[in-house]
Structure 1
């Protein structure tokens, strides 16, 4: 499989966006963050999302806030499934209660770990329809840091297709 670091365009079907956003909105109605994944393949400068996955997840609410966690068994199951289907995680998408930003917890507990992969943060528990311009987009660099992709660049990097 091609490396994600050289990808300049992520092609994402509207259905994959809708599948994740529906999950984020559903758990958000109960006051929780949610997590979804876009999986697919990379060829040259293009990564193509083939489908969305909603992994089993633990929704967390404590005095310090809300969060979402995917356990080790689920991570193992997911990795076996990806291997069997010759797919990889291209992006992780999760929601926040208010502003969209990548927190330190998000940095430290990422599921997408390949250099060049994306992490999207949807604001306001996904109460409104998906809008790339209000979604925070980050990309993992070679140093292991999540760098914010400016909104104008995010709209060029992520191509929404029917």
Structure 2
């Protein structure tokens, strides 16, 4: 069984690209989401891609978010082509509440070491920083929110760029 990575490295462009992807949904009063692909080496996971989901395979409502298996398959194909894997995601909640909902915990991706970030205010603020978000990891069979000190030590900003990709029906 894989243990949780020691460190997640997020290039500085990851948060602005992710918030920008979710903001239009937030402007409509709905949850938004961006998936993160990356690589793991020597206990460090580096996010390399921010994935925007499009088309009928993604459902976004004020208190509900759903990704179809077919759309996740497209994400998987992108990851295989790029030589990366799904390392985490960011989604938005209303107001300042940044914990995982019971539905997030029950129906979200539950893989050891998977990072789930929750942005406040439906991601409507372009300069939302990671420190304002809830940062959660799936570890030892359960979701756990990282405290401020652990978050600062384990989720670090890094240099480098990030590729922003779209998957799904672009109609």
TM-score range, shorter chain: 0.7 to 0.9
Q: What is the number of equivalent residue pairs in this alignment?
A: 153
SS in 1 for 2:13: helix
Q: Deviations over 1:35-62 (max 9, x none)?
A: 111111001111111121112321124x
Q: 1:124 aligns with which of 116, 121, 124?
A: 121
SS in 1 for 2:53: coil
Q: 1:142 aligns with which of 125, 129, 140?
A: 140
Alignment check: 8 A CA contact 1:17 1:52 kept: no
For residues 34 and 21 of structure 1, the distance between their equivalents in structure 2, rounded to whole angstroms, comes to 9
RMSD: 1.5
Q: 2:39 aligns with which of 38, 41, 60?
A: 41
Instruction: State the match for 1:24 in structure 2.
Output: 22
How far apart are 1:32 and its partner, in Å? Answer: 0.5
Q: Which runs of 5+ in 2 are unaligned?
A: 160-171
For residues 155 and 67 of structure 1, the distance between their equivalents in structure 2, rounded to whole angstroms, comes to 29
For residues 114 and 44 of structure 1, the distance between their equivalents in structure 2, rounded to whole angstroms, comes to 19
Q: Which runs of 5+ in 1 are unaligned?
A: none
For residues 128 and 153 of structure 2, the distance between their equivalents in structure 1, rounded to whole angstroms, comes to 16
How far apart are 1:142 and its partner, in Å? Answer: 2.5
TM-score (norm 2): 0.83
For residues 149 and 12 of structure 2, the distance between their equivalents in structure 1, rounded to whole angstroms, comes to 19
Instruction: State the match for 2:167 in structure 1.
Output: none
**Runs of 4+ with deviation above 3 angstroms:** none
For residues 113 and 148 of structure 2, the distance between their equivalents in structure 1, rounded to whole angstroms, comes to 17
Map 1:98-113 to 2 at 5 A.
98=95, 99-111=97-109, 113=110
For residues 76 and 51 of structure 1, the distance between their equivalents in structure 2, rounded to whole angstroms, comes to 16
For residues 4 and 68 of structure 2, the distance between their equivalents in structure 1, rounded to whole angstroms, comes to 30
Instruction: State the match for 1:86 in structure 2.
Output: 83
